[in-house]
Amino acid sequence: MPSLPRLLLLFLAAWSALAAATPAPKPLYRDPKFDGAADPVVIWNRTEKSWFMFYTNRRANVPGLSGVAWVHGTPIGLAASRDGGVTWQPAGDATITVPAEIGGTEPTYWAPDVIAGPDGTYHMFLTVVPGVFENWQHPRRIVHLTSGNLRDWQYQSALALASDRVIDACVFPLPAGGWRMWYNNERDGKSIYYADSPDLATWTDHGKAAGVGERPGEGPYVFKWKDRTWMLVDLWKGLGVYHSDDLLHWTAQAGNLLDVPGQGADDGVNGGHPGVVVSGDRACLFYFTHPGRGGTIKPEDKPATELRRSSIQVVELLEKDGRLSCDRDAPAYIRLVPPAGL
């Protein structure tokens, strides 16, 4: 009779094979409260032994909101997966408190980036708008928060960056130590800027990112895969792709990802605001869509809630000859593996 460790290994192998044979649904996830899930970022929760998805929860189905008030007053939603990212269940909202001088009395939270620091502490870099507004002409700052459990977040500081209107942080470790953040400076034509930190607490801004900052975009996401460092940027007509050898100078790839509408449910429009998880030798791209903005029916003939709602999708990235691609209509046999030691 096999030993207990051997049985455990056999069970895990069988579970992995089953998970690998199960494609992720389309859409991958819709928020049950506001139906406005956007800006996904996914990280392993070592305490709860599950994958956590953080997302901006736009108030898509709330009636009576004029202008862009529905994109303000937004919490950061949580979803959890215990089967390697195939299925996701709502997990409430992240508990976040920021000082009134930063967030006002009714703060807006956008587009978190969440990473695990070297000591195991989780760090969030979050866009905060000080209130609920009907237009886009208001300040926004990026703040630093920390957590031990990915649910409860303590405010640390507001970063001093290039302007008073900065959004969409992405933080990545530097090879020689320290960290680099890329973000969108809205005051400079929606350009991508960057800043460096030795400790995730103090930051020095360095201005526009060479090779990528010249083209307007938002939601930068940086990851290492297939012996190359990549950046994806939401260009509002799909995702721009860049690569770099030194994390300073970036080269654009011809063509965009997710610019051609897909055929799956809620996937018939361009994909936006990426997040990537590299798991083993595979890379999974999470993105969101506004499905109601596609199709043949004119926007003016659709209810506002249909135009506003958003869904999370996932697709597997492919690499060949130094070029990224993806097939959003192919089944996504996603199976995220926890980081080693966690």
pLDDT given at position 329: 98
**Among residues 319, 308, 318, 314, which one has the least CA distance to residue 331?**
314
Q: How far, rounded to the nearest angstrom, does the alpha carbon of residue 39 sit from its chain's CA centroid? A: 4
The token duo for 288 is 């969101």
| 327: helix, strand or coil | coil
Residue 241 near residue 221, CB atoms below 8 Å: no
Place of tokens 């010249």: 214
Those residues of the chain that have pLDDT short of 50 are: 8-9, 11-12, 14-15, 17-18
Q: Which residues pair with residue 228 across a beta bridge?
A: 225
CA 266 vs CA 38, 89, 167, 307: distances in Å: 13, 18, 26, 12
User: What phi and psi, each to the nearest 5 degrees, are found at residue 265?
Assistant: -60, 130
Instruction: Kindly report, residue by residue over 256-266, the tens digit of the pLDDT.
Output: 999 999 999 99
Query: What pLDDT, on the 0 to 100 scale, is given for residue 20?
Result: 55
pLDDT at 138: 95
Q: Which fold has domain 25-326?
A: Tachylectin-2; Chain A (2.115.10)
Question: 274: closest CA among 320, 339, 333, 326?
Answer: 326
**Both tokens of residue 122?**
């989780």
Alpha-carbon distance of 169 to 1, in angstroms, equals 53
Q: The pTM is what?
A: 0.93
Task: Delimit the domains of the chain by residue range.
Answer: 25-326
